[in-house]
Chains A and B, each alone.
Chain A
Amino acid sequence: GAGVSQSPRYKVTKRGQDVALRCDPISGHVSLYWYRQALGQGPEFLTYFNYEAQQDKSGLPNDRFSAERPEGSISTLTIQRTEQRDSAMYRCASSDHALASSSYEQYFGPGTRLTVT
């Protein structure tokens, strides 16, 4: 596709349920990032992948959060046993990190708005 896509765009779930958020990066992009954005705040880094390898997961808040990118393309962020404090916009970004890229630009998707009731 032309840009980064995410699904679903909106997700309402009950406390205690598991949710899976999907990110489809720009075709051919090597790196994929997950961010969480609370209302009135900037995006906060969660984790990132180069190809299928998870390089840094230091931003994941606790072990209820996990992410995978098994084939180096689409990624899923999973939140188990959701809590109300997990409510936020979850954003995905991708980057090509090609040798020709000198700025490591990250291209963001529209986000998934998660509401835990």
Chain B
Amino acid sequence: GEDVEQSLFLSVREGDSSVINCTYTDSSSTYLYWYKQEPGAGLQLLTYIFSNMDMKQDQRLTVLLNKKDKHLSLRIADTQTGDSAIYFCAESRYNFNKFYFGSGTKLNVKP
């Protein structure tokens, strides 16, 4: 939705790092999420970060949150061809139940 914005495409070479960016507008955001969508599959939760954190690392994934600028990023280290998918940023607000999604960033990993 228009409250959450992402760039549409990212292309990287296998083995490089990928950085997918997201901006959001609502300062009451509580949790921010990254979901991965592969063709024909549902959305798979990759990771999330609470709004009072700056960074979270989970194996090859690093999430950075700049709450002042309302900017969220997902870094994928050593990107593999299996990481090719659409990545959605999402936020939940004070009531936790309504998720607001960006339009998704299509990551293409070239061998």
Residue of A nearest to B102 (CB): A42
Q: Does B60 contact A (CB under 8 A)?
A: no
- Flag the segment in A14-22, A64-72, A78-86, A99-107 that touches B: A99-107
> Is A25 located at the chain interface by the 8 A CB criterion?
no
Task: Tell me how far the C-beta of B93 lies from the nearest C-beta in chain A, rounded to whole angstroms.
Answer: 11
Contact residue among A56, A59, A109 (Cβ-Cβ distance under 8 Å from B42): A109
CB <8 Å contact, A110 and B40: yes
A88 to chain B, nearest CB (A): 14
- Which residues of chain B are within 8 angstroms of A42 by Cβ–Cβ distance? 1, 4, 88, 90, 101-104
CB distance from B48 to the nearest CB of A (A): 5
Q: Are B101 and A43 in contact (CB under 8 A)?
A: yes
Q: Name the 5 nearest CB pairs between A and B, nearest first.
A: A42-B101, A108-B42, A108-B43, A104-B96, A110-B42
B residues bordering A, Cβ < 8 Å? Answer: 1, 4, 31, 33, 35, 40-45, 48, 50, 88, 90, 92, 96-104
A: residues with CB less than 8 A from B are 3-4, 31, 33, 35, 40-45, 48, 55-56, 59, 91, 93, 97, 102-111
Sample (25) of A-B pairs whose CB atoms are under 8 Å apart: A3-B42, A4-B42, A35-B99, A41-B104, A42-B1, A42-B102, A42-B103, A43-B99, A43-B101, A44-B1, A44-B101, A45-B99, A55-B97, A56-B97, A59-B98, A91-B43, A103-B50, A105-B45, A105-B48, A106-B45, A106-B99, A107-B45, A108-B43, A110-B41, A110-B42
